Amino acid sequence: MARTLPATDVVIIGSGWSGGIIGKELAAAGQRVVMLERGAPQWTSPDWAPPQVHDELKYDRRHEMHQNAAKETYTFRNATSETALPMRSFTFAYPGDKLGGAGAHWAGVTYRFDEVEFRLRSHYTQKYGASILEGLTSQDWPVSYSDLEPYYEKFERLAGTSGKAGNLRGQKIVGGNPFEAPRQSEYPNPPMKVPFAAALFGESAANLGLHPFIQPASLVTRPYVNSEGLQMSPCAYCGFCASHGCEHFAKASPNICILPAALKQPSFELRTNAHVLRIELTADRKRATGVTYVDAAGEELFQPAEMVFSCAFAINNARLFLLSGIGTPYDPSTNEGQVGRNFTHQSRGNVQLFFSEDFHLNPFMGAGAAAVTLDDYNGDNFDHGPLGFVGGAYVQIQVVGAGPITFRPTPPGTPRWGSAYKAALKRYYNHAITLGTSGASQAQRGSYLSLDPTYTDAWGQPLLRITHDYNEQDLKLSNFVVDRAMEIAKGMRGVQQAVPNKMRRPYSTATYQTTHLTGGTIMGDSPANSAVNRYGQSWDVPNVFTVGANLFPQNASWNPTSTIGALSYFVTEKVKNEYLRTPGPLVPA
C-alpha cells in the first residue's frame, strides 16, 4: 500500500525539455510543481567533468545516459503474427535516463518543421490525389506552423540555437535554408563552423544546383545568455557530443538551460530516482488523482495532484497511458482505439564515402550537429507525382566526432579482424565519412504500441511492445534519396569509393537509426482520430496532459526536439491563460 504524500497542484513526470519548460513556467505562474525524474541527478559539474565524459566505453557502449534496459526495455516484433521479444540493450534508439533525459545526451540538431508537414494529409491529397496516401494512417496536425512559430522562436532563445535564417518574414537570404518556413527573427547565434568533409559535400551539391546550408544547432557558437538568464559558453568541437554530456556549457540541455531556472522558483520541487508506476484515476476513469511512484529506497508513494503532465521519453508516455487505463488501447484489427496508434520511426539510408589518401578529413574535430545539409529533397520541395510517396529527407554530411571505439570505417569486403583489417582501419580512419539521409516516416495500421502480454519490467509491470515494419512508402523514399545522395557523392572531390546503403525490410532493432520515435498518444482535432487534443490534453481524462514526440501524428524527416520545445511553450501558454482559471477540456470533444 502506497504512502500518501501531501497534495500538490501539478505533477510532472520526466525532467527533459518538455517537463523542464512546463515545470518552470507553471511554477513561475504560482503553481506548486513536483517533478518526478526516474533517473539520478546529473549536472555539468561534477558529472560531465573531463576527461571521463569522453569515455566512449562508458557513454557509447555501456549507455551511461540511456534508459537502463536491465530495468525497463521494450519488446519488439515486425508483425502481429509474431511473438515479440525484449531488447536486452538499446541499439535502435537511445531513450534518455537521468536528469534532463534524452535532452542531455542529444546532438543539438534544431530544425523547425515546414508548413506542409502540419497539414500533411490534406496537402498531398489535394496536390497529388488521395491514392498517394493509400494504406497509410498519417493525418493532419491540429496545429499549424504559424500557430507554433512564436514558440519555436522561444525555444531557440532558450537553447541558444545557432544558424542562419534562409527565409526571414518571407525574404529569402543566401546562406540559409531557402526552403524553410518563414521565420520572424534571425537565429540567436551565428552558424557553426564547417568541417572539411561537409564543405566538400556542399561544393558538390551547389554544383548540382542544390542549396546546401549549415545545419542549425543548439550548440552555442559564442558566449550566450539564454532567455532564462542562464550562461552558455561556445562549442569547442570536441567530438564527443551525442550520448555524452557537454563539459563546456555549450550543448543546450534542460540541465543548463531551464532546470536551474525552475529550481529557483520557490514552488518547484524536483525529486530524482522517482520511478512513476502509473497515473491514478478516479473509479469512473475521468479524472486523475495523482501518481504512484517508487523512490530510491524502494518505497511506493502516492503523490496527489490536481494536474498530471506526462513528459517522459516519447513512447514511454504511451506506456504510462496504457498502464494507467487512460483512453482506449488501439486495436489494429479494427483500427479503433487511440492509445498506441501511429507509431513511427524515421527513414534512413546513407552513402559511405572513402577518400584518396591526400584528403585528410580529420573527422575527430566535430560536434553532434556540425553539418552541411540540404532540404532540396525534403518535404514537398520536389515533385512527388511520379514517385508514389509523400515527404522527403534531408541529405547531409555531419561530422560528429570520430572516437576510436565508435568510428572504425572500412570498405565493404574488408576482413573483420587480423592484419588486413588493421591495415584498412589505418588507411581509412582519416579518409572516410558518411553522407547521411534522414527521412520522414508515415504511419500505418500495423505499426503501433501495446502492453506486452509476457514480459515485465523490474517493478513487475508489462513492458511496452513495439510492432513495426517499414511500409512501401518509406522504402520508396529511402530508395529515392539515397540515389540523390549518390549523385552528390559522385561529384565530390577526393571520393574514391561511394557505397550506398538503402533501407531494407525487415525493420530491425539491431542497428542504430535515430532516437526519434514518435506517436502512441497523437494529437488531433477529435477523439475519433487522436488520444489528446491540440494542447496535449487527454480527451478522456482532461486533467492529464502529455507533451513529447508522442504527440506527432507521423514522423517528419527533421529532428523532433525543436517541435517538442515549441509545443511545450504552446501548451503551457494555454494552460496558464485558460485551464488554471477554468479547469476542464480546452477543446470540446
Partner 1 sequence: MSGGKLAIGVTVVGLGISVLAGALVVGNPAALLRSAYTHPETAAAPSGPYYPQPERLPPYSQVALTGDARLGEQIFNRGGGGGVAACSTCHGAQGVPVAGAPYPRLAGLSADYVAKQLYDYASGERTNEQMRPFAKALSPVEIGAVATFVATLKAPETELSSPAQVERGRQIAEIGDNAHAIPACGACHGLAGRGQGDMLPPLAGQPRAYILSQFNAWRADRRQNDQVTVMHGIAQRMPVEDIEAVASYFASLRQKGQ
List residues with catalytic annotation. Answer: 516
Residues 457 and 463: beta-carbon distance below 8 Å: yes
Residues 27 and 6: beta-carbon distance below 8 Å: no
Beta-sheet pairing, 8-13 with 300-310? parallel
231 in contact with partner 1 (CB under 8 A): yes
209 in contact with partner 1 (CB under 8 A): yes
588 in contact with partner 1 (CB under 8 A): no
Nearer to partner 1, 214 or 466 (CB): 214
Name the minimum Å distance from CB 211 to partner 1: 8
Residues 421 and 468: beta-carbon distance below 8 Å: no
Give Cα separations from 75 to 173, 455, 479, 510, 573 (angstroms).
47, 8, 28, 13, 36
Nearer to partner 1, 132 or 361 (CB): 361
206 in contact with partner 1 (CB under 8 A): yes
DSSP string, 498-517: EEEE---SSP-SSS---S--
Nearer to partner 1, 51 or 413 (CB): 51
Name the minimum Å distance from CB 234 to partner 1: 5
**Given candidates 21, 33, 159, 197, which one binds partner 1 under the rule CB under 8 A?**
197
**Given candidates 223, 385, 404, 583, which one binds partner 1 under the rule CB under 8 A?**
223
44 in contact with partner 1 (CB under 8 A): yes
Residues 37 and 98: beta-carbon distance below 8 Å: yes
CA distance 360 to 374: 24
Nearer to partner 1, 494 or 500 (CB): 494
Binding to partner 1, residues 247-306 (CB under 8 A): 247-249, 256
H-helix segments, 192-240 = 196-207
- Report the run of H or E that residue 465 belongs to, with start and end: strand 462-467
Name the minimum Å distance from CB 490 to partner 1: 15
Give Cα separations from 349 to 276, 432, 467, 484, 492 (angstroms).
37, 17, 21, 11, 18
232 in contact with partner 1 (CB under 8 A): yes
Q: Bridge partners of 444?
A: 136
- CB-based contacts of 408: which residues, under 8 Å, 6+ apart? 425, 429
How distant is the alpha carbon of residue 122 from its chain centre? 25
Strand locations in 362-428, DSSP E?
371-374, 393-398
58 in contact with partner 1 (CB under 8 A): no
CA distance 453 to 363: 45
33's grid cell: 510543481
CA distance 362 to 413: 24
Name the minimum Å distance from CB 172 to partner 1: 12
Binding to partner 1, residues 356-415 (CB under 8 A): 356-362, 365, 372
Name the minimum Å distance from CB 535 to partner 1: 33
**Site stretch for partner 1 (CB under 8 A), options 40-48, 149-157, 267-275, 420-428:** 40-48
**Site stretch for partner 1 (CB under 8 A), options 192-200, 288-296, 469-477, 480-488:** 192-200
Name the minimum Å distance from CB 235 to partner 1: 8
Name the minimum Å distance from CB 393 to partner 1: 19
Instruction: Give the CB-side neighbour count of residue 511, counting CA atoms within 13 A.
Output: 11
Count of CB atoms situated within 10 Å of the CB of 255: 27
**Given candidates 207, 456, 508, 526, which one binds partner 1 under the rule CB under 8 A?**
207
Name the minimum Å distance from CB 426 to partner 1: 14
3-state secondary structure string across 315-356: HHHHHHHHHHCCCCECECCCCECCECEEEECCEEEEEEEEEC
Binding string to partner 1 for residues 171 to 190, with x set by CB under 8 A, is what? ---xx---------------
CA distance 17 to 158: 10
Name the minimum Å distance from CB 399 to partner 1: 9
Closest to 278 (Cα-Cα) out of 314, 317, 315: 317
Nearer to partner 1, 241 or 305 (CB): 241
3-state secondary structure string across 262-305: HHCCCCEEEECCCEEEEEEECCCCCCEEEEEEECCCCCEEEEEE
214 in contact with partner 1 (CB under 8 A): yes
335 in contact with partner 1 (CB under 8 A): no
Nearer to partner 1, 193 or 287 (CB): 193
**Given candidates 40, 70, 236, 589, which one binds partner 1 under the rule CB under 8 A?**
236
496 in contact with partner 1 (CB under 8 A): no
**Site stretch for partner 1 (CB under 8 A), options 69-77, 351-359, 447-455, 467-475:** 351-359
**Given candidates 43, 421, 455, 512, which one binds partner 1 under the rule CB under 8 A?**
43
CA distance 30 to 486: 55
222 in contact with partner 1 (CB under 8 A): yes
Nearer to partner 1, 198 or 322 (CB): 198
Residues binding partner 1 (CB under 8 A): 43-46, 49-51, 174-175, 191, 193-200, 202-203, 205-207, 209, 212-214, 222-223, 230-237, 247-249, 256, 356-362, 365, 372, 493-494
